[in-house]
């Protein structure tokens, strides 16, 4: 892993513009950029998130469940809008 730290006030105008487009908003002079470059093993789990898909490990809520078990869980959390009375 590589970490790069740059002060916004030290960036050239073209660099600042590129970073602002990347983050989606303007930056203030008193801010600092901390950029981490990490290697990702595309064949296995990513260290930062724990799953091959890039999602956190807790997202594997259905892991080890049968299709019927999953269906039962989903049915228990789906609301029946027909029986709900609206004001």
Q: Are 39 and 33 in contact (CB under 8 A)?
A: no
Interval 29-70: pLDDT, tens = 999 998 888 777 665 555 555 555 666 777 777 778 888 888
**Average pLDDT estimate for 19-34:** 92
Which residue, 43, 50, 7, 41, is CA-closest to 27?
A: 7
Q: Check whether 78 has a pLDDT greater than 60.
A: yes
């Amino acid at each position: 892993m590589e970490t790069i730290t740059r002060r916004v006030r030290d960036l050239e105008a073209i660099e600042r513009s590129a970073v602002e487009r990347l983050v989606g908003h303007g930056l203030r002079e008193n801010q600092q950029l901390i950029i981490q470059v990490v290697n990702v093993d595309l064949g296995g789990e990513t260290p930062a998130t724990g799953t091959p898909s890039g999602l956190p490990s807790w997202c594997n809520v259905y892991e080890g469940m049968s299709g019927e078990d999953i269906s039962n869980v989903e049915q228990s959390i789906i609301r029946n809008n027909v029986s709900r009375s609206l004001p």
